[in-house]
Structure 1
Amino acid sequence: MDSTERFSDRVEDYVRYRPTYPVAILSILQVGTDRIVADIGSGTGISTELFLRNNNRVYAVEPNAAMRKKRKSCSVSTPDLFPSMGRRRRRGFPIPPST
C-alpha cells in the first residue's frame, strides 16, 4: 500500500479520536503571529486550525485525498489557508530526502 493512502479508510476515526494540540505548542515551536507556516502532512487540519487561529498564513500540504477532503470542512474560514496536495518531491520543498 502506498503510504500516502494509509489513513484513507480510517479518516472518520482519525477525526473522532485524534486529540487537538494545546495552544502552548505555538510558543514551544516559537510560532509568532503573522508568520508563514508550512503544515506538511496536514491531515484533517488539526494543526492547520491552530495556526490559522494564531493569525498565521498556512500552506497545508496533504497527499491523502480523504484527509484533505475532511480538512476542507475546517471550522476556520480564512484567505490565509493555501491547501495543496502532493509530495515533497513534487512540490519542490528544499527538504533533504533523508528527513
Structure 2
Amino acid sequence: MGFHTFPIDRADALEDPTRYRFCSREELIEMLDVGSDATVADLGSGTGFFTREVAPFVDTVYAVDVQAAMHERHREAGVAENVELLTTEVDSLPFDDSELDAAFSTMTHHEYATDEALLEIARVIRTGGRLVTVDWSASGTGADGPPVDERFGPNEAVNQLEEAGFTVERVHDRPETMAIVVRR
C-alpha cells in the first residue's frame, strides 16, 4: 500500500460536483448522525469540498489536511465561520483525548490508514462518537480514483478500524467505493 497525498496541481478535481455521485451531503450528514452542537473533524479535507457541506449542520468543523496548499485553495473558495483549518498529519492530531464528537474522511482513508493514525483518531473521538469513512474500494474497477492497488477493501478497512478500538455499525461496499460507519 503506497501512502501519498493528492497532487495540488489537480486540486480543481476536488471541487468537481460530480463527486456527489460517490457521497452526497445528505448521505454524509446521515452517517455522521450528530447534533448542531457537535465538534467534528474532516480528515484529509483537501480544498474543503465536504467540509463546507457539513459546516452548516454542526457547531465546529476542523478541516485537517497535511498540505497547507490545500488550505489555501479552501480559503479561496471561502471558509465558514465555524471552520478551523489545521495543517497536520492524521497520526498526530492536536486535539485532547475525546475532544471530537465525530470525524469523517471522504476519499482519503487510503492516504493515511496506518495503525498509528487510526489509534490517534480513536484517541480524539469521544466514547460513543462516530467515524465515517467513505473511500475508494479495492473491489472497485479503478475507473475513478487512485489505482486499485492503492486502495483498501472493505474487510481490510473494517479490520483496521476494529483493531484501533472501533465498533462497526455498518459497511456498504458499492461499485467503486465503500462507506463504513464505526463507533468509538
Q: Which has the higher strand share?
A: 2
Q: Which amino acid is 1:84 matched to? A: L
Q: 1: distance between equivalents of 2:34 and 2:89?
A: 24
- Given the alignment of the two structures, is residue 46 of structure 1 paired with residue 69 of structure 2, yes or no? no
Q: Name the structure 2 match of 1:3.
A: 4
Q: Distance in 1 between matches of 2:33 and 2:42?
A: 14
2: CA distance, partners of 1:13 / 1:51: 19
**Aligned partner (choices 82, 88, 91) of residue 90 of structure 2:** 88
CA distance in 1, matches of 2:43, 2:51: 10
Paired residues for 1:2-41 under 5 Å = 3-4=4-5, 6-16=6-16, 19-20=19-20, 21-41=24-44
Change (3 A) 1:76 1:55: farther
Aligned equivalents of 2:44 and 2:62: distance in 1? 10
Q: Secondary structure at the match of 2:25?
A: coil
| Counterpart contact for 2:65–2:87, Cα < 8 Å | yes
Q: Pick closer, same or farther for the CA change 1:68–1:52 going to 2, 3 Å.
A: same
Residues of 1 paired with 2:74 and 2:55: CA distance? 13
Q: Please give the alpha-carbon distance, in whole angstroms, between the structure 1 residues aligned to 2:87 and 2:53.
A: 20
User: Which protein is bigger by CA-based radius of gyration?
Assistant: 2
Between 1 and 2, higher relative CO (CA 8 Å, sep ≥ 6) is seen in 1
For the Cα contact (< 8 Å) 1:49–1:74, is it kept in 2? no
Seen in structure 2, the aligned counterparts of structure 1 residues 61 and 50 have a Cα distance that, compared at 3 Å, is: same
* Separation of aligned partners in 2, 1:2 and 1:28: 26
Contact 2:63–2:84, Cα closer than 8 Å, also in 1? yes
Contact 1:53 1:76 (C-alpha < 8 Å) held by counterparts = no
User: Identity, % of aligned pairs?
Assistant: 26
Counterpart in 1 of 2:129?
A: none
Structure 1 runs, 4 residues or longer, greater than 4 Å off: none
Q: CA deviation at 1:39?
A: 1.0
Task: Tell whether 2:60 aligns with 1:60.
Answer: no
Q: What SS is found at the alignment partner of 1:58? A: strand
- Letter of the aligned partner of 2:41 in structure 1? A
